[in-house]
Amino acid sequence: MLPTAPWPLRRFRAARGQALTLAVALALTMVATGSGLSPARASQSVLQVVVQEWNPADRAAEDAVERLGGDTARQLPIVDGFAATIPAGQLASLEGAPGVKNVTVNRSVKLTGQYGENSSVASAVYTDAVRASMAWNKGYTGDGVGVALIDTGVNASGDLAGTVVHAEDFTREQNNVDSFGHGTFVAGLIAGQGTASNGGVKGVAPGAHLVSVKIAGADGSTDLYRLLAALEWVATYKDVYGIRVVNLSLGTESNQSYLTDPLNLAVERVWNSGIAVVVAAGNQGTAPGTIAKPGDDPLVITVGSTDDHTTATNRDDTLASFSSAGPTAFDGLAKPDLVASGKSVVSTRASGSTIDTAHPEARIGNTYFKGSGTSFSAPIVAGAAALVIDRTWSLSPNQVKQRLVSTARLAAGVDRAAQGAGQLDAFAATMSSDTTAANAGVAGAQGGGGPAQFNEARYLGSSWAGSSWAGSSWAGSSWAGSQWNGSSWAGSSWAGSSWAGSSWAGSSWAGSSWAGSSWAGSSWAGSSWAGSSWAGSSWAYEPAVLGWLGTYD
């Protein structure tokens, strides 16, 4: 059974930095060799699919898969279904089979970062631009609020030391290390401590704690299966780790309405379980109809990007050229809900990761990195949601969304279809007393998108066996080659500044004020950080306690 003891909501900081010893490993098995298919089936061309059932209590849909020569795999209660493989020619037959409600072909999910907008200056003023620092001054830092990020993992050292209370790894790497670099960057924007910059580069909610759910490894690629499994994990263990917000800096393409796509149903069920879901709008440009899924869902908080031009004021802000705009392509819904800084923002560097190795020119000193994209605007809003919850713990996700959108500030000269309610004002949202709930009258996916009624035995007893996850080649996209939707980390001009060997003291950050932080006096090269030896602390999680007993690949 799952632990039933309540999460110590307001006492978490005292336990921060200590490994949790809660045994929550899921016993998921995996066939060690091959796909698990019979030789006859293995020779056929197969499709990986998500099958949703009319009645999950019976086996009609599973029987239909097997009759058609396929194999059932992991149960996915969050969408009332399961993962399966079927012969490629049997898709139509399965869609019409008894007990089958919906069939969705597994698809690629991309981490929606766009890197290197050829900006001349890196911007670390986003906490001032969205007025988060004013909320800190009132005592609201996200203390006790758990933020889950479903991403490439988090390297919990430096600015992120002690912030990650638990990590799950859904990849074949099984190491909870961010070997790609995206997740660590996102984590820094949410809860970075500013350790390496004397407080100059902080996340929006530096008091929040993080739960890392890794679904992509060194190549940055993942799929719908893993994303659904990760969302289910977050909803299942939300009370164990105090999760109130989940950040999805990712996106996928789909030709299905939000009313029928299983990913939309999954995010709505996470939402209705009491977790505010924050999603990147996508980096497909400002043309209408470019919002990525699940940002097309009406319930969730979908975030686009602005260019803050390295100033704390919003008077000069413009829409980032990559930021996707509404209305949504299939359903014609107004999205994004709001926008936040996302152009050339500074955050935590994952040293030695794929992105770091491919783009050394994006490094800032030894600790920080810069990147652009709605992937990096979403965590700024996720951090703001944590601030709002910190002040008013009882708020529902609908009430959190209402406070964020109702206090947003419209950017002059920017199309409403691209900015939604406007630019995030984290301070105004945090201090708001509005108890109105957003999403009133909104139709949920597949009959309401209500809270999932998880069958623990069905979930914990699930097996990935029988499916060949490695059989899907998501090649065709060169992740290491840095061409993410036509953009790259390379090509950024640092305005002639030499970051290596340069003196941070006395440097002018293009008019940006570091809020009184003095860079002078700190030696960036070869300095000892208060005598602390990071190597002496093991940030790895106890495999016997927190590790998976199988893999998802």
| Residues with active-site annotation | 151, 182, 375
**Are 26 and 460 a contacting pair, CB within 8 Å?**
yes
51 closest CA partner among 36, 38, 29, 68:
68
Q: Which residues pair with 302 in a beta bridge?
A: 279
162 closest CA partner among 346, 16, 318, 278:
16
Rg (CA), the chain: 22
Task: Give 215's Cβ-side CA count (13 Å radius).
Answer: 27
- H-helix segments, 121-223: 126-129, 132-137, 182-191
- The beta strands (E) that lie in 282-380 are given as 301-307, 318-319, 338-341, 345-348, 363-364, 368-371
* Phi-psi region at 342: left, alpha or beta (left = phi > 0; alpha = psi -120 to 50): alpha
* 415/362 Cα distance (integer angstroms): 31
Q: Is the dihedral of CA 56, 59, 62, 65 positive or negative?
A: negative
* Phi-psi region at 430: left, alpha or beta (left = phi > 0; alpha = psi -120 to 50): alpha
**Are 159 and 192 a contacting pair, CB within 8 Å?**
yes
- H-helix segments, 29-163: 39-42, 60-67, 91-95, 126-129, 132-137
87 closest CA partner among 48, 30, 61, 51:
48
Element at 374 (helix H, strand E): helix 374-391
Q: What is the DSSP letter of 373?
A: S
* 347/54 Cα distance (integer angstroms): 45
* Phi-psi region at 328: left, alpha or beta (left = phi > 0; alpha = psi -120 to 50): beta
Amino acid of residue 292: A
For residue 116, CA distances in Å to 207, 352, 454, 484 come to: 29, 18, 42, 10
* 206/321 Cα distance (integer angstroms): 29
Cis peptide before 294 (omega within 30 of 0): yes
Q: What are phi and psi of 164, to 5 degrees?
A: -95, 115
